[in-house]
Structure 1
Amino acid sequence: MSDFRNTRVPAEIDRKSLWVVRELGLPAIVKACVSCRSARHHPTGKFRVNASGKLLDVWMLICCELCGRTSKISVHERVHVQALDHERLLMFENNDPAIVRQLTMDATLAAKSAYRLDWSGTWKLDTDLPFYELQHENPVPLAVFVRFELPAPIRVEKLLMTGFDLSRSAVRDLVAFGRLRLPMAIDAKAREDFTLFAVPGPEAEPA
């Protein structure tokens, strides 16, 4: 994660703010349970490693939220023992929380194993932004650095509504009039650090 204080911003913008998407928990793993009607699972915090000669299978164990049934997600299948980093293997064998966290949030693993991630309730937005009159006719230019503690895919519009405490229509109007300048579409989902700018609209600029 980069230091927002060292990020280059336009010379006319000297006010900065930091927004941080804080982690509240890991996403739910959404896949059908074979024992009940639930489709929500959470990691048990454990792995199963099976050796067959020099080949390894590694599974992450997950638990149904409703009935408690344990099932598994394939992480490595029939991989040669020498092809797997020794430190990574030890993490699996020791049920290291860091690798549990990493794999639970891994969108590539989710796509490979045909399940999806539910990020609801996993984050909150912290800002160091005091009262700021974004809707004022000529607001003080501001650079906002958005940092993610976890790669939760969040619609940019929702971040703006939460961070500036504005309605959806107000946020969309500010973007349409050029008051909010974004590096992506307002309907896009962000999951990585980015910077946005709040500036006076064209009608407020001197002739």
Structure 2
Amino acid sequence: MSSQPHIVLPWVVRRTRLPLLSLRCVTCRAESATAARGRFRVNANGKLLDVWLLVHCVSCDRTVKLTVRERATVGSFDPVDLHGHHLNDPDLVAATLLDPAFARRCRFTLDWTGAWTLDAPTVPLDGWPVQVNVTFDDPVPVRPDRIIAHRFGLTRSEVLRRVKCDIPLKRPTSSAFTFTVLAED
């Protein structure tokens, strides 16, 4: 058997929808998830603007405003971003929601459960070892051992035994990585 992989497969992790937010609701007091409505609210007070991202509680449907910019002069905004805030640009909503600094400042975490998919070609059964290049379209944190086990039909202990990888397999990542699955012993 050759030490070089016979097959190289591209896998892509893609976002299927915006992730839910884990944020305590002030009305129902549950640590319920909130989902972005995909809208901004822009409020003018003289020459100053406030911009909020509107989210709502999944349990009680209460709307909450997360501060994007507060008391900022009109001239301090990038004109494209300001126009996007007024038009509720979906790409700007996603970029704002996925910004780690925004999440820290507004004190929420993202819940990616059911919000992503793995686009991967079928795995040929006769061409071992198999090398896979995993890339991410969005910063979706996934545990490599889980997606490898699911896609190849292996147990996670088999994954740890048969997979050579350039990153830790048990730690969530959202950075591109490469791994090789070796043939059974």
| TM-score interval, smaller chain | 0.7 to 0.9
Q: Distance in 2 between matches of 1:183 and 1:54?
A: 52
> Counterpart of 1:3?
none
> Counterpart of 2:96?
103
> Counterpart of 1:34?
26
User: Residue 112 and residue 132 in structure 1: after superposition, are their counterparts in 2 closer, same or farther (change >3 A)?
Assistant: farther
Tell me how far 1:198 sits from its aligned partner.
Answer: 2.9
Stretches of structure 2 lacking an aligned partner (at least 5 in a row):
none
| TM, length-normalised to structure 1 | 0.79
User: Residue 187 and residue 130 in structure 1: after superposition, are their counterparts in 2 closer, same or farther (change >3 A)?
Assistant: closer
SS of the equivalent of 1:186 reads coil
Please state if 1:13 is matched with 2:5. Answer: yes
Tell me how far 1:27 sits from its aligned partner.
Answer: 0.8
Match runs of 1:16-165 below 5 Å: 16-38=8-30, 39-132=32-125, 140-165=128-153
Assess if the C-alpha contact under 8 Å between 1:14 and 1:142 holds in 2. Answer: yes
Structure of greater Rg: 1
| TM, length-normalised to structure 2 | 0.88
Assess if the C-alpha contact under 8 Å between 2:6 and 2:128 holds in 1. Answer: no
Assess if the C-alpha contact under 8 Å between 2:164 and 2:180 holds in 1. Answer: yes
Q: Distance in 2 between matches of 1:52 and 1:183?
A: 52
**Match of residue 168, structure 1, among 153, 156, 165:** 156
List, as ranges, runs of 4+ consecutive aligned residues in structure 1 with deviation greater than 6 Å.
none
Q: How many percent identity over aligned positions?
A: 34
Alignment size in residue pairs: 182
> Counterpart of 1:183?
166
Assess if the C-alpha contact under 8 Å between 1:75 and 1:109 holds in 2. Answer: yes
